[in-house]
Amino acid sequence: MNNITTIVQKELRNYFNSPIAYICVIFFLFLSSALFFWGFGFFLRNQADMRVFFSLMPWIFLFFAPAITMSLWAEERKSGTAEILLTLPFRDYEVVLGKFLASFILLISMIVLSFTLPIAVSYLGDPDGGPIIGGYLGTFLLGGAYLAIGLFASTFTKDQISAFILGIALSFFFFFIGENFVLFAVPGFLVPVFKFLSLGWHFDSIGRGVIDLRDIMYYLSMIGFFLYLSIYSVESRKWR
């Protein structure tokens, strides 16, 4: 546990000693708030809810999560510090978990700072608390899944831009696999499988305020699966 904490602290220092963390937080808050209040006509709809805000999260995180994770392994490999890091008395899973937790802490900070939005909505009207709570829970879980995918993508290359693009491509695939236009194109017996594998389909369910244990387990399984793939990728490259 001490080793994981050490990695978390190291990665958080890297984030906040560079412009990455500040740019991500400021741009996320500006973009989500601007689209919520003005881009999609919050005041014109005359409804005190946050459905539009949560519907934006899969799209916004599709780019923000890979931006957060793209340097976690790519930069280490480019600078040659990955080899040094893996020769230290750290196990591979400790390094991977430490990097993931650091990126998740940054993402949580971004989301928590957006809590001013439901406060403002509550001041303007009387929103239903269930969908807001479910939406934020789904946002945390969806963000964690995107980060795990982005971290896995970062293990494949020394170039941050390549890691960023690969992270977007993988996240895009697992998000859109459950969209209607995809489901219409696949055989009927595969529709339940595609829905189950879709990040977006489970997010929509939680976002409606219906907190199903199966949806939570799906996201935790996705996070665990891609962290396992990251550990395997790091181990295979180390021995290679």
Write out the chain's pLDDT in tens, 240 residues: 788 888 899 889 888 888 888 888 898 888 888 877 776 666 666 676 788 888 888 889 999 999 999 888 776 676 666 666 666 677 888 888 999 999 999 999 999 998 888 888 888 777 777 788 888 999 999 999 999 999 999 888 888 888 899 999 999 999 888 777 777 777 877 888 888 888 888 888 787 767 778 889 999 999 999 999 998 888 776 545
- Judge contact between 219 and 141, C-beta under 8 A: yes
Comparing CA positions, the residue from 44, 67, 40 lying closest to residue 54 is: 40
- Judge contact between 162 and 137, C-beta under 8 A: no
Matching residue, tokens 């939406």: 135
Q: How far apart are CA 5 and CA 138, in angstroms?
A: 26
Comparing CA positions, the residue from 196, 222, 33 lying closest to residue 142 is: 222
Per the confidence metrics, is the pTM higher than 0.85? Answer: yes
